[in-house]
Structure 1
Amino acid sequence: MVKFSRPLQICCVVTLLLLIIITVTAVTLYFTVFKPKQPKITTQSVTLDSFSTNLFDLRDTNVTLGIMVTIDNPNYGGFKYGNSTTYVTYHGSLVAEAPIMEATIPARGRHDVGTTVLVIGKSLLTNPSFSRDQGNDTYNFTSSSTIEGKAIVMKLFKMKATSYCICNISVHFLAKNSTTVCTSKVKF
């Protein structure tokens, strides 16, 4: 049996205690301060940028919507994501796509994402809900985005993360305004 000297035993005990304290502190910080939180996505504006129609053929109607979304990152880590696409549907039918360019949302920061969406009138007119919405002057769209990237905490820890966002958009063409309600979820 090997016998250790007294100073070596004290050194091992102190080292073990320090490792336990560091581990407990790290776990506590992870579950309190660094616990991943859902980002808050707010649609700042959905504007009717252009509206063109052919009076002789209503299927030749095009609508361009400008969308400005603000993403608030409440986390202590940044989020870096790659290029993605937003899909816009009208009562379940795909009517437009818009690119989302890669960017980084800083830790506890805010990031504005702006894009334009061209909605082809033919895809709206062939939808059975169009005449009902036209009578109400409220056209209900749904936009959905999936953004994949990495959450970066203190430039040391990198985790893959996927953000899902669904927005219900009601556009009122005569009043030239809109209302939007968004929900988002992040999966680590």
Structure 2
Amino acid sequence: MAERKSYITRSGFEKLRAELEFLWKEERPRVTHAVSVAAALGDRSENADYIYGKKRLREIDGRIRFLTKRMDELEVVDLGPRANADRVYFGAWVELEDEQGERVRYQLVGPDEFDAAQGRISVESPVGRALMGKRLDDEVLVRRPRGELRFTIVAIDYRQPDGRPSEGRPAGGASNDGPHGAP
């Protein structure tokens, strides 16, 4: 069975890379030094600094392993200004209007970088799945455990909220080669 690719924006991938570098080059050496100092103090069985340090090292090593493996599995989708931004694909900023006239704005991102507080939702979420491939002015029905929501797509943009163009080449587009509209 073919493995399903997970997608991530360039900025999301760079955040993971920065975290990995920080853990490997700064945090792990700092904690390793603290464990060495604590170990030199003698009895390790009741040495809280030593016990905590070893626990923290295990956590750091686990996160390093996870990030290393996960980053190998991810496909970076570079987003760029699109000549035809009338469809919703991975990386799009989408403004929706509900039945009461309230508006919300979301960016469709991969599961590794979703952040609801920042308006970034996963393409694998109910809202994300409902939006993929839709056009401007389409009505979107979102089925969720608490009931259905109806939205109208009022804007699709492939620019950052501050107006900067998104990075790189477009993802998806006319040929819907990969899942989530990504190549």
* TM-score, L = length of structure 1: 0.30
Structure number with higher strand proportion: 1
> Scaled by the length of structure 2, what TM-score is found?
0.31
Larger Rg: 1
The structure that is helix-richer by fraction is 2
Considering Cα pairs closer than 8 Å and 6+ residues apart, tell me whether 1 or 2 has the greater RCO: 2
